[in-house]
């Protein structure tokens, strides 16, 4: 069974930075992390950023210019560098991975932006 593991969340002051990591492993076919989503209390899960095999990236308007998604293919790991964090970025961040047509989600990592 495939496994997706996120790390790097925490508490940070407004204007600060965090870097999230997501690694996928296991399963009968390769599992590839493709992006980050987040869910704030009382809100629906929303896309933050995605990256495809060609390296093309996509970002939510709310994070453009502040967040950067990248991938280390050798480690099968996707990163999310988050700079200039705002209180409205507070949420549980989830990594999404794909294995053919099967979608995998990580358990989520909490990011809290507060003074």
In this predicted structure, what is the pLDDT of residue 1?
Answer: 76
47 vs 9: CA distance, rounded Å: 17
Can you list the residues of the chain whose pLDDT is less than 70?
A: 27-28
Pairing relationship of beta strands 18-25 and 77-82 according to DSSP bridges:
antiparallel
109 vs 21: CA distance, rounded Å: 10
13 vs 99: CA distance, rounded Å: 36
pLDDT single digits (tens) 21-35: 999 988 667 889 999
């Amino acid at each position: 069974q495939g496994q997706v593991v996120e790390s790097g969340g925490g508490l940070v002051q407004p204007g600060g930075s965090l870097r999230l990591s997501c690694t996928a492993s296991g399963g009968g076919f390769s599992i590839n992390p493709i992006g980050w989503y987040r869910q704030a209390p009382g809100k629906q899960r929303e896309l933050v950023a995605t990256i495809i095999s060609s390296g093309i990236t996509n970002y939510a308007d709310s994070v453009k210019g502040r967040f950067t998604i990248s991938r280390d293919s050798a480690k099968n790991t996707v990163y999310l560098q988050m700079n200039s964090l705002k209180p409205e970025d507070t949420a549980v961040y989830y990594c999404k991975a794909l294995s053919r047509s099967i979608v995998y989600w990580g358990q989520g990592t909490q990011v809290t932006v507060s003074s």
